């Protein structure tokens, strides 16, 4: 027995050897953790860049929808506005808007305004920002910049076929560089609405309603297109291309996977998957809601309302896509689809406001509904959350509408924001741009 114990002690590692082995294990573990963290960071960053690209393609969707729903004589004008909106949006957001939207508010400070300086600069700590450390600072800007440009694009369709290009450019530059980011900072920049508990996952209010309020202000100041209302009755102006409008809606639906899916702000497989499912279910349900609403109101199968119903469902789910289940998403989508029809009829026949593409109904009306839906169907649904959502809608809406109305009105008083009657009748393509969107001619 003594010999066995002696032999065992002879082969046992020394304390120094044990320490060395432990150090090797710890080093390997640290290297493994670092590799895992790097892989996760890379995966998150890759998904956010893909999401940014999907949101970017939405601009082609907006351009197609607006062009398809408006008259052929204004095609180039519509395409020009949608193209220059992206350029203005990205540049203004890079040099001013991004640091207005993320100024460095402290949680619980109930702040409403801040500015972190002009331009884009890499944070002292490295590539990641304090707001979203899961991916690079550059990717953060890229994704957020796509949202900013989207907000201004919403206004484009509502003021189509009668606004001067110069007036639209001035409005877009001010709205994207100042108005949208300041309002956005109240929630996403950890401002006072965030401290209150207001919830808007991907922007039913902060993007869509803010754009919708700007659109409403624009059509009020501009007035209706010539011949739109005759003897108190609304006249239909046939769009240039139903196929193009359809393509545009499906491009927007595709882009919404990045719009909502990217708003998870990571590649979390469970949450991203849920968001994509609720988003697409709401869009599908919106189509059915638009179909039902069109049949009830117009006594026909109105394809335009089906298309707008899809967009309505997508806007409606955006505020709470991460909190809803499939049944919630279905209900929200159907209600939004019906609501967009009722809103379009009310705006056109009762208020006598001219919105060529239904932008106010889709983005403002359904944006408000979607934000309130968080208080009805969301994780913290209840009276308190509903009232908080209502306060957030009122704060964002009041600020957006007042400033947008002031921009349009002051511009109109200074130099006039509407083209001449002759230009409007003949089409803005020839007078504003010197070319036509469609050059095919037919001979008798």
Is the per-residue pLDDT at 9 higher than 50? Answer: no
The CATH number assigned to the domain holding 20 equals: 1.10.3430.10
Query: Which has more pLDDT, 64 or 38?
Result: 64
Q: List the domain range (segments joined by +) for residue 88.
A: 16-433
Each residue of 136-158: pLDDT tens digit? 889 999 999 999 988 889 999 99
Say how far apart CA 346 and CA 343 lie, in whole Å: 5
Q: pLDDT-derived band of residue 3, with 50, 70 and 90 as boundaries?
A: low
Range 293-298 average pLDDT: 95
Say how far apart CA 108 and CA 272 lie, in whole Å: 28
Assess if residue 223 is contained within a domain: yes
Assess if residue 1 is contained within a domain: no
Q: How many domains does one find in the chain?
A: 1
Assess if residue 426 is contained within a domain: yes
Cβ atoms of 101 and 140 within 8 Å: the answer is no
Q: What mean pLDDT value characterizes the chain?
A: 90
Q: pLDDT-derived band of residue 306, with 50, 70 and 90 as boundaries?
A: very high
Assess if residue 10 is contained within a domain: no
Question: Which pLDDT value is given to residue 218?
Answer: 96
Cβ atoms of 66 and 283 within 8 Å: the answer is no
Assess if residue 285 is contained within a domain: yes
Cβ atoms of 365 and 213 within 8 Å: the answer is no
Assess if residue 277 is contained within a domain: yes
Question: Which pLDDT value is given to residue 303?
Answer: 95
DSSP state of 380: T
Angle at 423 (CA atoms; ends 418, 426), nearest 5 degrees = 140
Say how far apart CA 397 and CA 28 lie, in whole Å: 55
Q: Which residues pair with 230 in a beta bridge?
A: 233
Q: What DSSP element (H or E) covers 329? A: helix 326-345
Token reading at 158: 């509502």
Question: Which pLDDT value is given to residue 283?
Answer: 98
- 55 contacts: CB under 8 Å, gap ≥ 6: 143, 146, 147, 150, 255, 258, 259, 262
Assess if residue 11 is contained within a domain: no
Q: pLDDT-derived band of residue 444, with 50, 70 and 90 as boundaries?
A: very low
Assess if residue 209 is contained within a domain: yes
Each residue of 52-84: pLDDT tens digit? 999 999 999 999 999 999 999 999 999 999 999
Global pTM? 0.90
Question: Which pLDDT value is given to residue 440?
Answer: 60
């Amino acid at each position: 027995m003594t010999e066995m114990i002696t032999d065992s002690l002879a082969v046992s590692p020394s304390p120094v050897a044990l320490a060395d082995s432990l150090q090797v294990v710890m080093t390997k573990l640290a290297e493994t953790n670092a590799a895992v963290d790097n892989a996760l960071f890379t995966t998150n960053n890759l998904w956010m860049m893909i999401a940014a690209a999907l949101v970017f393609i939405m601009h082609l969707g907006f351009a197609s929808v607006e062009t398809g729903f408006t008259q052929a004589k204004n095609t180039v004008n519509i395409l020009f506005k949608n193209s220059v909106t992206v350029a203005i949006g990205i540049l203004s957001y890079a040099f001013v808007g991004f640091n207005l939207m993320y100024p460095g508010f402290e949680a619980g400070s109930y702040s409403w305004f801040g500015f972190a300086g002009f331009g884009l600069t890499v944070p002292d700590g490295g590539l990641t920002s304090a707001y979203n450390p899961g991916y690079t600072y550059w990717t953060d800007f890229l994704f957020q910049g796509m949202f900013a440009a989207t907000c201004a694009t919403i206004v484009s369709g509502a003021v189509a076929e009668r606004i001067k290009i110069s007036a639209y450019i001035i409005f877009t530059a001010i709205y994207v560089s100042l108005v949208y980011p300041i309002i956005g900072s109240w929630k996403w920049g950890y401002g006072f609405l965030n401290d209150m508990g207001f919830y808007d996952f991907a922007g039913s209010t902060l993007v869509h309603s803010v754009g919708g309020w700007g659109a409403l202000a624009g059509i009020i100041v501009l007035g209706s297109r010539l011949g739109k209302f005759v003897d108190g009755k609304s006249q239909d102006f046939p769009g240039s291309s139903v196929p193009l409008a359809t393509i545009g809606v499906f491009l927007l639906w595709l882009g919404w996977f990045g719009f909502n899916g990217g708003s998870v702000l990571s590649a979390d497989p469970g949450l991203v998957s849920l968001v994509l499912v609720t988003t697409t279910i709401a869009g599908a349900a919106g189509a059915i809601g638009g179909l039902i609403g069109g049949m009830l109101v117009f006594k026909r199968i109105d394809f335009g309302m089906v298309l707008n119903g899809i967009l309505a469902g997508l806007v409606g789910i955006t505020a709470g896509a991460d909190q809803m289940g499939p049944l919630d998403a279905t209900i929200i989508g159907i209600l939004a689809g019906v609501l967009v029809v009722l809103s379009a009829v009310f705006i056109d026949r009762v208020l006598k406001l001219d919105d060529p593409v239904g932008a106010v109904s889709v983005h403002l009306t359904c944006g408000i509904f979607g934000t309130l839906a968080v208080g009805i169907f969301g994780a913290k649904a209840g009276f308190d959350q509903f009232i908080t959502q209502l306060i957030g809608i009122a704060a964002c809406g009041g600020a957006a509408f007042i400033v947008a109305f002031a921009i349009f009105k002051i511009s109109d008083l200074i130099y006039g924001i509407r083209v001449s009657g002759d230009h409007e009748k003949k089409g803005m393509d020839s007078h504003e741009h010197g070319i036509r969107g469609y050059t095919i001619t037919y001979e008798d």
